[in-house]
Structure 1
Amino acid sequence: MSGAPLTHSSKQPASSLKIGALAPLTRPGWVEAGQHLLVGMQLAVRNVNDAGGVDGIPLELIVRDTAADPQKAAAAVDELADLGVIALAGEYHSVVASAVAVRADALGLPFLCSSAVLDALTERPTEWVARIAPAQSRGWRIYADFLLGAGHSRIAAAIAPSVYWASGVRILRERFAARGGSVVEFDMGVLAPADVRGELVAQRATALLLLVGYPEPAVSIVKAVRSDPRLADTLIGAPAGQPELAEWAALLGDEAAAIPFLRYLPERLGPLGARVDAALREGLGGAPSFVAFEGYDTIAVLAEALRSHGTDRARIAQAWAQVSVEGTRGQIRFSRVPGIGVWQWAWAPIQVVDRDPAKPGRFRILHAG
């Protein structure tokens, strides 16, 4: 394994097994996604502890807010390691999760990433990191196939500066080029949301993808485009999943509908998924996003790794290759995927979904891969 493992003595009496939980809980992070992620993890910890913990020892989450800040997240990893956590869990933003993964690898601290999808999560292959979420290259290719199948051969992407957005637009460009399509980029570091309207008309793009920050400038771009009668037939898409958030619907009202996004859920939940769904609804006071299920599954996998391999950090990392866990969205096993440096669940279910214009609180499955 790469990195210099931290020591974790199994001889020390443990009143709990500490897991460091990382999530964006304040701005500029996507706070609602962070809250769903954390509630999912907390529910799983409660269920594990209600069933007797791990060999009679309860799990304990030590939560740190990353606020979508890679430096803050890396510092949190160091702090959590000093506090004696045996593993790290969570995170939503890819750039932040990458910083966590790199630091965890350097320290020899197992990290099970819940929601970040960037393929190159680490600078080099590592045995210390595994991931529940599907890689961006798979999800965004499926999204591109949906657009192409719907007849959109020339699309535009309103893109903000970010490794994550740059990676996404590269995936889309390659997929479209292979099918004779094209992708034009609008640099939102230069353009104002209102400027997008004229650019769309000039470029004759039939779809606009929001590869930008949330809630701004994403919300303002939607309002600008939807207010222009010339663009009445233009599809707006948001592959990163902003429209699933309840805040999205609150901010945009009826304009929140018919904006396709990626969601990592099966068409129907099995018995475990249905039970977790009901408990999450109670805890959140509303419908859970797929991020809440990712949080739950992350803790379920870590609990099984602890049961089967013990609480030593190196042994937990060795478990990635062997664990098989019933998750809320399918059986979870990890493998090595070409081009991806971490252990990967290959693969979580993927859907392209939007909010139904007739009832924006209801989601429609438009495509599955």
Structure 2
Amino acid sequence: MLEAWQLSERIIGCLPAMVADPMSGMVTQVRPRIGALVPLTRPGWVEAGRHLLAGLELAVREVNDAGGIAGRPLELVVRDTAADPQRAAAAVDELAALGVAALAGEYHSVVARTAAARADAIGLPFLCSSAVLDALTEQPTEWVARLAPPQSRGWQTYADFLLGAGHSRIAVAAEPSVYWASGARILRDHLAPRGGTVIELDMRALTPTAMCDELVDHRATALLLLVGHPEPAVPIVKSVRRDQRLAEIMIGAPAGQPEFAEWATLLGGDGAAIPFLRYLPERFGPLGARVETALRERLAEAPSFVAFEGYDTVAVLADVLRSHGTDRARVAEAWPRVEVEGTRGQIQFSRTPGISVWQWARTPIQVVDRDPADLDRFRILHAD
């Protein structure tokens, strides 16, 4: 049996987006279409992709239930990136050829960076849902906007949480990646002037057991997981939890690995009390509460912040398409004029120093963890 995303890709991807008049040769768009980049197979973070797609699809359904775009149904053309930058670049070209008015989505920062560069090069508007790398494009661009906060803001918030919790000797278990290296640099630069020390442990060279020895030798009070999930994050957590020498160490995961249900399934109680970043408000307004209920029903579990990012992405793009039409240049020109009620607050884009894309500047940021007494409950530890 085909998964829902596979079915939508096969059917929607075959529908003609453009039609040519046989007399004049002029090409007109039949239906407004949005291309969606989503990690739906390994090595992509499949659970994040499933939540992102649920939010995108829910919002499209609601747009169409309300009459669509100028009376025409909005279509979502889904492509699986599988966390592969080159696959994402090819998908951008394919979706452009299919006549989409704009791109949406992507979770993995390194993949989104490649997609953003390609979208910028060919003049295709891209509203990035989840990726956080500050330098999403090498040069400032008018074509790309983003809902997720830049990594510098989120990880500095996390560093402030660490200091407030009394941690100044912080180890990071890291794998090679532009994203992880950027995160480690942000932590180091923010903590060092405040008396904090960041100790980097290369997980290419260390087993989880050997890493535990390093934590003891360096007298670290906190260990941050700058690694993939489930491997090697899950074995690392298990090794630390079982090492009596490290009974007092705090494990943290700023990138959000504990957000999804798979984390609790794989780790049980060992996965509790591991603080991570989440981009939700402390309390939802009426729209957020309604969407939360609908997403919970769609996913058959509590929706993550990634699902809300997906919903808000389509809410913004639908508003732009209604007011500015489907011409790609006009869509991109609309970024600074966006004023849309999202599930997590009023969405507006601006230019932020050091950020190369149009940015929602006030995305809510929380540091939360899973409650040891109830793994399905999240405790808010810090907020910005």
Separation of aligned partners in 2, 1:46 and 1:358: 37
Separation of aligned partners in 2, 1:206 and 1:217: 21
The match for 1:265 is 280
1:291-306 to structure 2, matched below 5 A, reads: 291-306=306-321
User: Shift in Å at residue 194 of structure 1?
Assistant: 1.8
The match for 2:84 is 69
User: Shift in Å at residue 196 of structure 1?
Assistant: 1.2
The runs of 5 or more residues in structure 2 that have no matched partner are 1-17, 21-25
The match for 1:129 is 144
The match for 2:242 is 227
Cα contact 1:30–1:214 (8 A) shared by 2: yes
Cα contact 2:29–2:99 (8 A) shared by 1: no
CA 1:119–1:9 in 2, change beyond 3 Å: closer, same or farther? Answer: farther
The match for 2:229 is 214
Separation of aligned partners in 2, 1:248 and 1:259: 11
User: Shift in Å at residue 69 of structure 1?
Assistant: 0.5
Separation of aligned partners in 1, 2:196 and 2:351: 31
Does residue 160 in structure 1 map to residue 183 in structure 2?
Answer: no
Separation of aligned partners in 1, 2:126 and 2:318: 13
Structure 2 residue identity aligned to 1:278: T
The match for 1:142 is 157
The match for 2:15 is none
State which of 57, 66, 71 in structure 2 corresponds to 1:51. 66
Cα contact 1:154–1:183 (8 A) shared by 2: yes
SS in 2 for 1:280: helix
The match for 1:4 is none
User: Shift in Å at residue 15 of structure 1?
Assistant: 3.7
Question: What whole-Å deviation, never above 9, does each CA across 1:269-292 have from its counterpart, x for those lacking one?
Answer: 000000000000000001000000
State which of 30, 37, 42 in structure 2 corresponds to 1:27. 42
User: Shift in Å at residue 12 of structure 1?
Assistant: 4.4
Question: What whole-Å deviation, never above 9, does each CA across 1:196-216 have from its counterpart, x for those lacking one?
Answer: 110000000000000001110
Structure 2 residue identity aligned to 1:200: L
Separation of aligned partners in 2, 1:316 and 1:114: 16
Quote the RMSD (CA, aligned, Å).
Answer: 1.2
State which of 330, 333, 339 in structure 2 corresponds to 1:318. 333
Separation of aligned partners in 2, 1:175 and 1:298: 30
User: Shift in Å at residue 63 of structure 1?
Assistant: 0.4
Separation of aligned partners in 2, 1:111 and 1:47: 21
Question: What whole-Å deviation, never above 9, does each CA across 1:169-199 have from its counterpart, x for those lacking one?
Answer: 0000011101011100000111112211100
The match for 2:369 is 354
Separation of aligned partners in 1, 2:260 and 2:297: 17
The match for 1:338 is 353
Separation of aligned partners in 2, 1:49 and 1:75: 28
Cα contact 1:127–1:318 (8 A) shared by 2: yes
Cα contact 1:14–1:57 (8 A) shared by 2: no
The match for 2:295 is 280
User: Shift in Å at residue 350 of structure 1?
Assistant: 0.3
Separation of aligned partners in 2, 1:195 and 1:94: 29
The runs of 5 or more residues in structure 1 that have no matched partner are 1-7
SS in 2 for 1:216: coil
Does residue 79 in structure 1 map to residue 94 in structure 2?
Answer: yes
The match for 1:113 is 128
User: Shift in Å at residue 14 of structure 1?
Assistant: 3.8
Cα contact 2:19–2:30 (8 A) shared by 1: no
The match for 1:3 is none
The match for 2:268 is 253
Separation of aligned partners in 2, 1:12 and 1:32: 39
User: Shift in Å at residue 13 of structure 1?
Assistant: 4.7
SS in 2 for 1:194: helix
Separation of aligned partners in 1, 2:92 and 2:236: 36
Does residue 237 in structure 1 map to residue 252 in structure 2?
Answer: yes
Cα contact 1:101–1:122 (8 A) shared by 2: yes
Percent identity, please: 75
Separation of aligned partners in 2, 1:52 and 1:123: 39
TM-score by length of 2: 0.93
Separation of aligned partners in 2, 1:329 and 1:195: 42
SS in 2 for 1:29: coil
Question: What whole-Å deviation, never above 9, does each CA across 1:202-249 have from its counterpart, x for those lacking one?
Answer: 000000000001110000000000000110000000000010110000
SS in 2 for 1:352: strand
Separation of aligned partners in 2, 1:353 and 1:15: 45
Separation of aligned partners in 2, 1:97 and 1:173: 25
Structure 2 residue identity aligned to 1:161: P
Cα contact 1:15–1:58 (8 A) shared by 2: no
Cα contact 1:9–1:312 (8 A) shared by 2: no
Question: What whole-Å deviation, never above 9, does each CA across 1:44-74 have from its counterpart, x for those lacking one?
Answer: 0000000001110111011000000000100
User: Shift in Å at residue 351 of structure 1?
Assistant: 0.2
Does residue 173 in structure 1 map to residue 226 in structure 2?
Answer: no
Structure 1 residue identity aligned to 2:210: D
TM-score by length of 1: 0.97
User: Shift in Å at residue 361 of structure 1?
Assistant: 1.0
The match for 2:113 is 98
Does residue 16 in structure 1 map to residue 59 in structure 2?
Answer: no
Separation of aligned partners in 2, 1:37 and 1:79: 21
Separation of aligned partners in 1, 2:114 and 2:359: 18
